[in-house]
Structures are given as structure tokens and as C-alpha cells.
Amino acid sequence: MSIVIAGATGQLGRLVVRELLGRGVPVEQIVAAGRSAQQLAELAAYGVRTATVDYDDPATVDAALDEGDTLLLISGSDIQNRSTQHETVIGAAVRAKVAHILYTSVLAADTNELVLAPDHAKAEEAIRASGLPFTFLRNGWYTENYAAALLTARETGTLLASAGEGRVASATRADYAAAIAAVLTTPGHEGRVYELSGDYAWTFGELASAFSTVLERNVSYLPVSSAEHVSALEAAGLDPATAGFLAALDGNIRQGALALTTGDLARLAGRPTTPLVDGLRPLAG
């Protein structure tokens, strides 16, 4: 029986592998599954087993799973196709008769108005319907999601957003990885739904202040309307669909979609979540 990490070659997945190793999980019990040959080779250097998996090719997923395995399904990043891809992995898990499936969802997936929530709610429904023992790890926002905004602020001295006075309870990927590894290596999590987020929900004014501290220059928050935000993003070179998507995310934040704080993340990780400034410092280069 192994711990299979589907999505191990992504940024979160690689951190989960390292957390498992740090917790003393034997390398032969860890299967890092993903698409990137280069990243799989780097993970193999730790001594863990690897499997090349393509979510668009069910046979590759079947080959990576065995009866009794614990499967961590890290949600896919291909927004257009990930619902189908998630169904592929869930189907393979059923065929393999895995002992436990864990899924990285999003905060309050079944009730959240977040533009990303429907895909996650659909995956949760499919997992519940599968009959497999499950745990939902409903991840909030990553502090690292503001890396590009930080670098832009270095050049412009402004943080432009249409989030109004909305708050974000972000945490670092390392925080989430620590909590996920804890769930993978301790009993009693079957049937649980964890709402994972940072200990403190900050405003964009506070984000601008944190940028100022990290960059050692004054950064001001420039709140704009959604339409103005789309125009600014398009002027910066983004296509209309991407610009609209990002503005919609800010609209969700304005409405409170990412402000939830439950303490679940810190409790599972066994430590407070990383403060905003500390999470931003590595992103400044």
C-alpha cells in the first residue's frame, strides 16, 4: 500500500512529497505521479517511486494505482478540461479500490460564489458518489498568487485591484503542504471536510503595506472598478478572457469568497500559518 500523489510535479505536489519525507514516510511507500518528465526525475532523486500520468489518458492513471493505496488528487490547473480530468482520476481510483482518496478543493466549494468553485463542487460530488472513503482539503488562496503583483508594484509603486475592501485569508503553499502531509500520515480523517486558510484575513490596503515592507519602497493600493480592472489588464497584454477571469476573482474577493478563517490549516500543520510579509519575501527575488 502506497501514498500516491496525483499532481506531484506541480508546485504544491512537490512540497507535499518533501513534507512526507520529512515525516519519515519510507521512500518506497511514496508514488509521485505527474506529467512532467523533468520534475519526475527530480523527485526520483529523493528515492521515491514515480509514475508518468496524463489525466487525459485513463490507462496511465490506472497503471499508477493499486488496491489499498491512499490517493491524493491535487486539483488540476487546466481550467477548461479539469472537470473531465478529475472524473478520469476518480474513475481510476474506483477501479483500483483505493483505501482513501483526498482531494484539494476550494473554500466552501459547495456554497461559495467563487468563479473557481463549480469545478471543485463537481469533483466533490463525484467522489462522494464513488463510495470511496474521502477527505476534502478545501484550500484557500496561496500567498504566492500575488508574485506577479509584487513584481509589478516594484516597478509602478501601485497595487491595482478591483477587490474593494474584501479580505483574503491566504497562506503559503508550504503551509498547505504541511497540513496535507499531516492528514496523509495520521488516522481519523475519513469523511472529514477541512476548510483550510490562513490565520488572518488581510485587506488589499494591508497587502500594499506588506509589499512596501518587502520591496523597501512605498506601494499604494489603487482600487478600481471591475471594468477598469479589465481594461488595465488588457492594456498590460492579457487576452479579454483572462482579464475578465481575473477581474471576476477580485469581484469574488470583494464579496468575501476568500475571507474565511477556521484555524483548520494551522491545527493540521501543527503551527501558525506564515505571516503575509514572510510569505511574500521569497517572491521578491
pLDDT in tens, 32-76: 999 988 999 999 999 999 999 998 899 999 999 999 999 999 998
Number of domains in the chain: 2
Separation between Cα atoms, residue 132 and residue 106, nearest integer Å: 20
Asked whether residue 185 is assigned to any structural domain, the reply reads: no
- Please indicate, yes or no, whether residues 25 and 152 belong to a single structural domain of this protein: no
Q: Which strands, in side-by-side order, build the sheet including 70-73?
A: 49-52, 30-34, 3-6, 70-73, 100-106, 134-139, 193-196
pTM, two decimal places: 0.96
What is the rounded CA–CA span in Å between residue 177 and residue 171? 11
> Residue 99's domain spans which residues?
3-139
Residue 90 pLDDT: 97
Q: How far apart are CA 73 and CA 19, in angstroms?
A: 16
Q: Are residues 118 and 226 in the same domain?
A: no
Write out pLDDT tens, residues 113-149: 999 999 999 999 999 999 999 999 999 999 999 999 9
Q: Are both 115 and 222 inside the same structural domain? A: no
- State whether 120 and 242 are in the same domain: no
Residue 92 and residue 15 share a domain: yes
Higher pLDDT, 224 or 81: 224
Cβ atoms of 38 and 136 within 8 Å: the answer is no
Give a yes or no: residue 180 inside a domain.
no
Q: Angle, to 10 degrees, between the axis of helix 37-44 and the axis of helix 11-22?
A: 10
Per-residue confidence band for 86, with pLDDT thresholds at 50, 70 and 90: very high
Whether residue 194 is contained in a domain is answered as no
For the stretch 149-193, pLDDT in tens is: 999 999 999 999 999 999 999 999 999 999 999 999 999 999 999
Instruction: Give residue 221's region: left, alpha or beta (phi > 0; psi -120 to 50).
Output: beta
Are residues 117 and 59 part of one domain?
yes
Q: Are residues 233 and 162 in the same domain?
A: yes
- Give pLDDT, residue 80: 81
Write the CATH number for 76.
3.40.50.720
Alpha carbon of 276 to those of 16, 23, 272: distances in Å?
21, 26, 12
pLDDT value, residue 77: 81
